[in-house]
Amino acid sequence: MSDRISKDEFRKTLYKLRTGGSFSNHEIDEVENVFRGDLRESGGSAGISKEEMKRGLHYLRHHPENHHLSHDEISKLEENLKHYL
């Protein structure tokens, strides 16, 4: 466990959600768009911190008009991301 979710760990999370059958390719793209900036950081701030994860999930929960994820899918995403923190 670390204090950040690496790019590889994020990819593993998305793969698990896609192959588990609950996320479509479009929904995976939407999740990637929310966290894209966090994953492009370099050095010590590379990856997704716990605070960045919370902000991304908050955005998804409070702006349902901007994506196609259900409440249950956002909860699954959170559960899978927390595995790496």
What is the structure's pLDDT at 1? 62
What is the structure's pLDDT at 41? 78
Domain spans of the chain, in order of start: 4-82
Question: Which residue positions in the chain have pLDDT lower than 50?
Answer: none
What is the structure's pLDDT at 2? 74
Q: What is the DSSP letter of 84?
A: T
For residues 42 and 7, what is the distance between their CA atoms, to the nearest angstrom? 11
* Residue 5 β-bridge partners: 48
